[in-house]
Amino acid sequence: MREKIIAASVELFEQNGFSETSIQDIVDALGVTKGTFYYYFKSKEELLMDIHLRYIEGLLSEQARIMNDEQRSVREKLYAIVYMLIHNVDRQGRQARIFFREMKHLSEEHLQKVKEKRDLFRYQLQALIEEGMKSGELRRDLSPSIVTLTVLGAANWSYHWFRPDGELTDAEVAEQMVTILLDGMSGLRVS
């Protein structure tokens, strides 16, 4: 039931917005009573934090798995992380959109919790980039934090436009994106 409440809420929040969705709307969609809702969640805000935390924790554990794989080069790890972000938008587009759009509805304390995890994701990506700079796999004349934010921006933005039924698959989009980010768009070197 907990899962069902989350799924129904995600759908309603995306369609109508967090503020416009009442607990009554959520329980009506499921054909249960408010008591059922309150058995699992203290409030609508707690449910929102739960959605946020699950989303970011899923990303963090997948990122850790990728980063700890000693067999992969920095380039391969970057590809895997970008692929994960785009693939995740594909699989979990709704959570992603709610994550970015409804953040302001979290209490200060809960927002802090979510922000810490988001920051952790970014720091870990930056650590990977710094590792690549040290080893010479990545050039050293760029700011590691700007590189990190450029990669994150390119990949995260896909939640605005990526369609699983589009011309290219998530793997193809990730491949092209990582090619751009690592090798550049300039024709001077490849022509």
Q: Does 108 bind a copy of itself (CB under 8 A)?
A: no
Report CA torsion sign: 84, 85, 86, 88.
Answer: positive
Q: Binder to a copy of itself among 65, 91, 101, 163 (CB under 8 A)?
A: 101
Q: Does 176 bind a copy of itself (CB under 8 A)?
A: yes
CA 9 – CA 57 distance, rounded (Å): 19
Other beta carbons less than 10 A from residue 155's beta carbon: 25
Q: Does 165 bind a copy of itself (CB under 8 A)?
A: no
Q: Does 156 bind a copy of itself (CB under 8 A)?
A: yes
The torsion region of residue 31 among left (phi > 0), alpha (psi -120 to 50) and beta comes to: left
- 4, two tokens: 């069902």
Q: Give min distance, CB of 180 to a copy of itself, in A.
A: 5
For a copy of itself, the binding residues (CB under 8 A) are 17, 19-20, 75, 100-101, 104-105, 129, 132-133, 136-143, 146-147, 149-150, 152-158, 160-161, 167-168, 173, 176-177, 179-191
